[in-house]
A = this chain, B = another copy of it.
């Protein structure tokens, strides 16, 4: 976040381009509040109840990890001119996010697919890992994003 972020268009991206976001810390209270609203299961809500479950202790909802990953990418990932417009993708949660974890996202452009029918845009595939303070991967995401060309280039094309 130290340098100004130049908006990126499809023309500015290349396969292999990497990025790393800032980091943020997740608190126990945030984990419980998210779970109460969206994923009310004992292992996301209550430390004592969570101890006797698969997780062996309080763990964030995978959807909380996904939402935090999105925030990191929007705030300090690749600054797409049209924003992060996701069409879909894949998710894996190899390890749970725990109270106090400090998360950041490390990502890479793995595919760029210009649209044949609509020359002003393309689908960019970004693979990213959300890692905690110990380097453990809590989420692997492969996202298909809609990215537009720089308007001038589209006009000329």
Does residue A86 face the partner (Cβ distance < 8 Å to B)?
yes
A67 touches B82 (CB 8 A): no
Q: How far is the CB of A82 from chain B (nearest CB, A)?
A: 7
A41 touches B92 (CB 8 A): no
Count of interface residues, chain A, beta-carbon cutoff 8 Å: 34
Does residue A9 face the partner (Cβ distance < 8 Å to B)?
no
CB < 8 Å: which of B37, B43, B70, B74 contacts A83?
Answer: B43
Q: How far is the CB of A108 from chain B (nearest CB, A)?
A: 19
A87 touches B93 (CB 8 A): yes
Within 8 A of B (CB), among A65-84: 66-68, 70-71, 74-75, 82-84
Does residue A88 face the partner (Cβ distance < 8 Å to B)?
yes
A140 and chain B: residue at smallest CB distance: B88
A63 and chain B: residue at smallest CB distance: B67
A42 cross-chain contacts in B, Cβ below 8 A: 83
Does residue A53 face the partner (Cβ distance < 8 Å to B)?
yes
Complex Cα distance, B61 from A85, in Å, reads 9
Q: How far is the CB of A93 from chain B (nearest CB, A)?
A: 6
Does residue A146 face the partner (Cβ distance < 8 Å to B)?
yes
A38 touches B62 (CB 8 A): no
B68 touches A53 (CB 8 A): no
A87 touches B92 (CB 8 A): yes
Interface residues of A (CB under 8 A from B): 34, 37-43, 53-54, 61-63, 66-68, 70-71, 74-75, 82-93, 140, 146
